[in-house]
Chain A
Amino acid sequence: DIQMTQSPSSLSASVGDRVTITCRASQSIGDYLNWYQRKPGKAPKLLIYAASTLQSGVPSSFSGSGSGTDFTLTINSLQPEDFATYYCQQSYSAPHTFGQGTKLEIK
């Protein structure tokens, strides 16, 4: 199975900051990398698929990049509603494993 490793596990930032979360796959997954946002009590929300394609309705402050084994999620100008937990997921081969998550907290 492909292992997904996110870093950092947690992150403190302020409104208006720019933050970057990284995700590394244990083997090449091309661009089969997705990013999700999870808030307490709510279903996860798809932000980005295919490494860099923004899901419809997601603010352009979110962006994704990378291919192969190394990927990043960047959030520009953090808004209060962006504080949540973020997960990467590989969909290159089953099982479609998730990273362990990155909890983004308000500083």
Chain B
Amino acid sequence: EVQLLESGGGLVQPGGSLRLSCAASGFSFNNYDMSWVRQAPGKGLEWVSGISRSGASTYHADSVKGRFTISRDNSKNTLYLQMNSLRGEDTAVYHCAKGAYFASIDVWGNGTTVTVSS
């Protein structure tokens, strides 16, 4: 069974840092692009970051550019999101997502909650 299991969320003060992890299983992780998508309370889905299967190419939304870094360790089947200089507007549930045809997302993790508050 294909599974994505996120971890690393929690409560952090503004300006702080967190690193999210996503453990992938049930598929050949190194054959797929991956991404992070978040949903803030009462808001819609927001694509945050994406990474190619090799990790050579990364992309970030303007709202997180310069603060967040996506990476992956194919030897550990794990995706990461390093989040620095966190702001209140970064409060959200963060989902790990597996890329599919036409760069759609066919598998989503259940998410990990990040709360930025003093």
Contact = CB atoms under 8 A, between A and B. Distances in A.
A and B are partners in one complex rather than unrelated chains:
yes
Contacts, number: 68
Contacts of B100: 46, 49
Interface in B48-99: 50, 59-62, 95
Which of A87, A94, A101 is packed against the most chain B CB atoms within 10 Å? A94
Interface residues of A, number: 25
B62 A94 contact: no
B102 A50 contact: yes
Interface of A: 1, 31-32, 34, 36, 38, 43-44, 46, 49-50, 53, 55, 85, 87, 89, 91, 94-101
The 9 A-B residue pairs with the shortest CB-CB distance in the complex, in nearest-first order:
A91-B103, A94-B59, A43-B108, A49-B104, A34-B104, A101-B44, A95-B61, A50-B102, A98-B45
